[in-house]
Structure 1
C-alpha cells in the first residue's frame, strides 16, 4: 500500500503542484489577468491541439478497432449524472429548468484539457493517449449539443440558428481541429519528421505544464462565490458517482484494461470551466457553476488519488 501510494504521489503531486503554483502566482499578483488569458489561449489554441495531432499521427491504433464497451461505459455514466444533477437541482434546490440544465451539465462535463490530458498522460503514458484523445474528440461535442438542446429547446424549440452557432463553434474548436488533423495524418500514413517534427515536439512538450499553470490562474479568477449546496452536489456527482458508474461498467463490458482505466480516470476529472462559460451565456447558475469548478478541482487532488488506488495505478 505504501509503495503504491508513493508511486501515485509521483503522478499526482507534480500535476496539482503546477496548478497550485499557478494559483499562487495569480493570488500574489505575480502574474496578472492578461497573463492568465494569454496562457489559456495559447494552451487551448495551439499547444494542446499540436500535442493531440502529434500523438494521434504517431500512435498505434488497436487493430481490432475501437471497443464499443468503452463508449457505452463512459457516456452511460455521463448521461446518468447529467440527469441526476438536473433532477436534484429542481427537487432539492427548487431551481428552474434552465439552471437545472446548467447544473446537470456541470455534473457530467469533465475538465478534459486542463486536468484530464496532463493527469492521464502522466499516469498511463503513450499507451493511454489513444483512448484519451478519442474520448476528448467526442466528449465536448456530445455534452455541448445535449446541454444546448435541453436549455433552448424547453423555451421555444431549438432553432436553426442555434444549431448553426453550435456547429460553427465545434467546427472551429482548436482541440477538435487537432484531432481532425491527427486522424487525417493517421489515415494517410503521414508521420512528421525533420525540423517540423522538432518544432511540434517543442510545442507539445509545453502543453502539459502550461495547461496546469493556466488552470491554477483560472481558479483564482473563478473562486468559490457561494451557492455551496449545489456546488457540493455537483462535485459529488462528478468526482464520485460518475467514475463509480463507469468503473462498474468497465468491469463487465469488453475493452482493453488500459482503456477501462482511462475511462474511469477521465470520468473522475473535476468540472470543466465550460460549465461556468455556459452559465454565463444564459445568465443563470453562474455562482453555483463557478463554485463547483473551484471546489471539484481542489477536491480532485484527494478523489483522484483514491481512484488511482482502486485501479491499482503504480
Structure 2
C-alpha cells in the first residue's frame, strides 16, 4: 500500500464533499447535520466498538506521551511567540495562534487516515492518545485564555469539567475504557448497532469537513494562515518524530501514530474556541482551510518517512 493510496480515499472524499457544497448539491444544513451526527453518534460508536474489540492490546508508556505532547508544546510555544510579534494581537489571540498550531484535526481526518495507514496495530495507541489529547489540549487552552478573566481556579476547573462531561467523544472514551477494563465485550444486537454506526464515521466525517470548508475565507490573512499551517504540518510532526524515534524508544506503530496524529491539519476545535472567545476568528478559519488543502502533500511525505509508502 503506497502513501498515495492511503490518503487518496481520505482527501478524495473531502474534495467530493467540498465540491458538493460548492455546487449546491449539499446545503449548509446537511453539512451541519452530518457534523453533529459524526460528533455525537458515529465517532463515539467507533471509539466504543474499537476499544471493546476482542484481541485489541497495547501498552502505555510515558515516552509515548512525552514525545507527542513535547512536540505539541514546542509548536504551541512557537505559534504564540510569533503572534506576539505581530501588531494588534492580544494575549488571547496569541494563545489561539499557539493552540491552532498544535491542535490536530483528529476526529474528521486523523482517525480515518491513521486507521487506513496502521490498521489494527495503530488502533490502541490512536484512541489512547485521543483520550488524553482532547481534555489536555482544550483544558490548557481554556485555562490560558481565561487566565485574565478574573475567574478563580476552582471556577475554571468546574467549567472545564462541565464542558468535558457534555462532550460525546470524551464520554465515549470513558465508556469504552471502562468496558475494556471490566472485560465486557458487546455482542449480538448491541455489537451490530455499535459497528453499524461506527462504520459510517469516516465517510460522514470527511464529507462534513469538505462541505464545511466552503465557509472559510483563505484570503482573510493568508501569510498568518501559512505560518500556522507550516507549524502544524511540519514543525509539530517533526518534533514528535525526532522525540519518538531519536530520543525515546517505543514500538514503531506508536511512533508512527504519534507522528501522523501531529501531522494532521489544524483542528476544528481551534476555530470553535476562537468563535467562543471572539478572537482571531478569521485567521484561525483561514488556517483550518490552508492546512487542510496542504495536508495531502505533507501527509504523503510523512507516510514515506515512516515507511508506510
Name the TM-score class by shorter chain: over 0.9
Please tell me whether the aligned partners of residues 56 and 120 of structure 2 are also in contact (alpha carbons under 8 angstroms). Answer: no
- Mark the runs of 5 or more structure 2 residues left unpaired by the alignment: none
Partner of 2:283: 288
Computed over aligned residues only, the root mean square deviation of the Cα atoms, in angstroms, reads 1.4
Q: Per-residue CA shift, 1:66-125, capped at 9, x if unaligned?
A: 121110000001011111111000114551211101111101110000000000001111
Shift of 1:299: 0.3
1:1-314 matches, cutoff 5 A: 7-58=2-53, 59-62=55-58, 65-156=59-150, 158=152, 160-251=154-245, 252-314=247-309
Please tell me whether the aligned partners of residues 93 and 230 of structure 1 are also in contact (alpha carbons under 8 angstroms). Answer: no
Structure 1 CA distance for aligned equivalents of residues 39 and 45 of structure 2: 10
Q: Per-residue CA shift, 1:122-159, capped at 9, x if unaligned?
A: 11111101100111111111111111111111343545
Number of positions where the alignment pairs a residue of Structure 1 with one of Structure 2: 307
- Higher mean C-alpha displacement, 208-217 vs 53-62: 53-62
Q: Residues 134 and 299 (structure 1 numbering): CA distance in 2 closer, same or farther, change over 3 Å?
A: same
Which TM-score applies when normalising by structure 1?
A: 0.94
Which TM-score applies when normalising by structure 2?
A: 0.96
Secondary structure, aligned partner of 2:218: coil
Structure 2 CA distance for aligned equivalents of residues 194 and 135 of structure 1: 29
